[in-house]
Structure 1
């Protein structure tokens, strides 16, 4: 349904109440270097864009052509659903932006911040997003953005709406910041608890089922003091060995997609994306028994899976098989269940390794893995009784951690809904600066939340 302007507000095409930015080659400015806002600089809505990387005028990209003024709104025409929208501060006056942005410079009848907030609203989004074209990089044209409607009251009322919006949005931003801080502290706590567990400092040793050395079954014992790889001191009843000396490590395969008879045959088949710090009870795809060349390709319950290759956070994640399954070449299977060592303990070891690596690497990228590297990883081996205590304690912690994390994520979703509802109410003319505002915002937040939850 097309949104309607509030009674008494003016309506116009965006292009009729905004000015276009001057376009020129940075070289023509006579400046050796200019600052340039590329599409990649923005990660989402930015209400205070006051800095950008400097580039050499002679070497500036061909898209570095639009001259900025303080008070402009930048609207990315590439993948507009990512909402790369920014309000330009005076510090970037005379600097440059990519031609991938639609630069909206308000005419006198439009308050600059009112324009910025309108481009963030659902009313504007609903006009622009249906115009996207393309598959890999859906985009809209500059002229299509300018052809969309904007509605607005007089300048005095616009200023009042902006003040109310910024007051409410500021409160939501602070709440969001606190929630993200809590999530970060939870990550630190999770990493610390796992480190304590693997150093023998979380639970007392239980020697009722022997020592760690009794679990080696002929595997070589290592002195951690002599290792070049990451290691640490452990209690005397513990020992160290390598993954490949303790367990059978295998890498899977992917049957030919061109051979239809090799797929949908009932044998669970794990892909690296399904290895996500979980227990695997079912898989998205199955393969035919003929695609599994022998028992070495079909792994029993209790096998620990490790994602070797994957985008973003996938690589280095681990899981435990609760079913018999095969897997693709992007995963390694570690047959822990063939030994007395607990799969849950090995799972905890790889999780600690993942958390520590994420802490120390930019963007959370994990080191590249292959079968040989996995086999060579040193692992501390506690007594079996101690492993049981460690697993029980980590399970108790995980229950509390998951509850708190999910609560934070639910609250962040609530902040997101309230922000959208607030903007929607503002451009319906429903922000009066009274207690009734909260009722209008809550009503729209519930409607938005229900609509988003109903979408597949």
Structure 2
């Protein structure tokens, strides 16, 4: 904050709408062109990388109806469909003169007043994210209009002296770009490390759960476990128990529960879910499209069974009927074979795999937590550097509310 005060050095700050500091843009007239264009649709921009990763080549004879907006170098495009996802990027030289979807708001900076990256960092800010969430409409398919995006206000330091204003903006942009680059490098390093850890984990899991012929007894799920499906909750009262159904992660919370903790779950139907194996450590509500599995034998640990089943995802997918809506029949699951090492050996294997599991998958331990902390650190300092004095109108509203 001291740095920001010194940088501003008492100069005035005027808050202007994005509409005030951007230029009009134009749409393509397909009937007047014969060349092909690269089409930047909503899936072309990576949410994580904030960059265009793939485009389609289109011409007037096959252009989608939404392929309309011509873009230039340094334009910022922001997806107004599902805007809370923050899908946006700056257009570089490679995509100058191409066509973007009408699902984007195109922001073309008045470069004598604001830097394109000044707009970029404000679009990335928590203030803009909160603004979008407050002003989007629709629950199933939320969206925000271009006009509403352009009503968002950003500060313009020293507006009476454009040269000094751009110098101030450039210094803050330089620092934020450095933060962005460092965070990206750290995240890449940590992600590479996490990938290596997962590969290592899968290697050791395969080794620990592979048994020679005759080394252990093999028995079926049906011999050793209780296997059943759940049912839909009665009513829609919100409570503390996660609802686990065909998805790969719990969703929603209900006031009641119908399943004990330390239970294995795996979807019985649904695209993308078959083969996923979860382990619920707390009481939960099991849905009608999900199997719940627990060991009923003193000779088999449910946690060991989880690790073996999770390691057998390909085999489980092979049991399912994948035509139409994928479905895993109970009779196939009941007949699935499970190894039976001694309880002591099961305990040893579980201890090793649980430790690997925590390092690779838990958001509160190990590398995933470190990646999340690095991102939060970046966002914290970014928002500090963008903490300009609020416009007088907003200060008056806040005072009135108090």
Q: TM-score normalized by structure 2? A: 0.75
Matches within 5 A, 1:20-59: 20-31=24-35, 33-44=36-47, 46-49=49-52, 52-59=55-62
The equivalent of 1:86 in structure 2 is 89
Residue 99 of structure 1: how far off its partner (Å): 0.8
Of 217, 239, 250, the match for 2:228:
250
The equivalent of 2:322 in structure 1 is none
Contact 1:244 1:375 in 2 (8 A): yes
Residue 102 of structure 1: how far off its partner (Å): 0.8
Contact 1:23 1:66 in 2 (8 A): yes
Deviations 1:418-455 (A, max 9, x none): 2223332333369xxxxxxxxxxxxxxxxxxxxxxxxx
* C-alpha separation in 1, matches of 2:337 and 2:60: 52
The equivalent of 2:4 in structure 1 is none
Residue 132 of structure 1: how far off its partner (Å): 1.4
Residue 40 of structure 1: how far off its partner (Å): 2.7
Residue 105 of structure 1: how far off its partner (Å): 0.8
* C-alpha separation in 2, matches of 1:419 and 1:340: 50
* C-alpha separation in 2, matches of 1:334 and 1:250: 7
- Give the number of aligned pairs: 364
Deviations 1:234-255 (A, max 9, x none): 2532244443465453334347
Task: Evaluate the alpha carbon distance shift between residue 74 and residue 374 of structure 1 in structure 2; reply closer, same or farther with a 3 A threshold.
Answer: same
The equivalent of 1:436 in structure 2 is none
* C-alpha separation in 2, matches of 1:64 and 1:273: 36
Task: Evaluate the alpha carbon distance shift between residue 372 and residue 168 of structure 1 in structure 2; reply closer, same or farther with a 3 A threshold.
Answer: same
Of 246, 250, 256, the match for 1:286:
256
SS in 2 for 1:185: helix
Q: Does 1:377 align with 2:381?
A: no
The equivalent of 2:373 in structure 1 is 414
Gaps of 5+ in 2: 1-7, 158-164, 318-325, 390-402
SS in 2 for 1:97: strand
SS in 1 for 2:311: helix
The equivalent of 1:316 in structure 2 is 276
Q: Does 1:307 align with 2:267?
A: yes
Residue 405 of structure 1: how far off its partner (Å): 6.5
* C-alpha separation in 2, matches of 1:339 and 1:410: 36
Of 163, 168, 185, the match for 2:179:
168
Contact 2:45 2:53 in 1 (8 A): no
Over aligned residue pairs, what C-alpha RMSD do you find? 4.0
Of 7, 14, 19, the match for 2:18:
14
Task: Evaluate the alpha carbon distance shift between residue 320 and residue 158 of structure 1 in structure 2; reply closer, same or farther with a 3 A threshold.
Answer: closer
SS in 1 for 2:61: helix
Residue 39 of structure 1: how far off its partner (Å): 1.7
* C-alpha separation in 2, matches of 1:317 and 1:305: 6
The equivalent of 2:65 in structure 1 is 62
Contact 1:14 1:148 in 2 (8 A): yes
Contact 1:38 1:98 in 2 (8 A): yes
The equivalent of 1:112 in structure 2 is 116
The equivalent of 2:153 in structure 1 is 149
Of 289, 304, 307, the match for 1:348:
307
Q: Does 1:77 align with 2:73?
A: no
Q: Does 1:272 align with 2:283?
A: no
Deviations 1:231-275 (A, max 9, x none): xxx2532244443465453334347659x9xxx9xxx99743798
Q: Does 1:194 align with 2:205?
A: yes
Bigger radius of gyration: 1
Contact 2:22 2:108 in 1 (8 A): yes
Residue 61 of structure 1: how far off its partner (Å): 1.6
Q: Does 1:98 align with 2:101?
A: yes
Q: TM-score normalized by structure 1? A: 0.67
Task: Evaluate the alpha carbon distance shift between residue 75 and residue 152 of structure 1 in structure 2; reply closer, same or farther with a 3 A threshold.
Answer: same
* C-alpha separation in 1, matches of 2:74 and 2:204: 48
* C-alpha separation in 1, matches of 2:280 and 2:387: 52
Task: Evaluate the alpha carbon distance shift between residue 101 and residue 414 of structure 1 in structure 2; reply closer, same or farther with a 3 A threshold.
Answer: same
Deviations 1:305-354 (A, max 9, x none): 4333467668622337888x984322224453146333232111112124
SS in 2 for 1:286: coil
Of 318, 326, 336, the match for 2:295:
336
Residue 385 of structure 1: how far off its partner (Å): 4.7
Of 191, 216, 222, the match for 1:180:
191
Residue 93 of structure 1: how far off its partner (Å): 1.3
Contact 2:217 2:339 in 1 (8 A): yes
Task: Evaluate the alpha carbon distance shift between residue 302 and residue 396 of structure 1 in structure 2; reply closer, same or farther with a 3 A threshold.
Answer: closer
* C-alpha separation in 2, matches of 1:276 and 1:163: 40
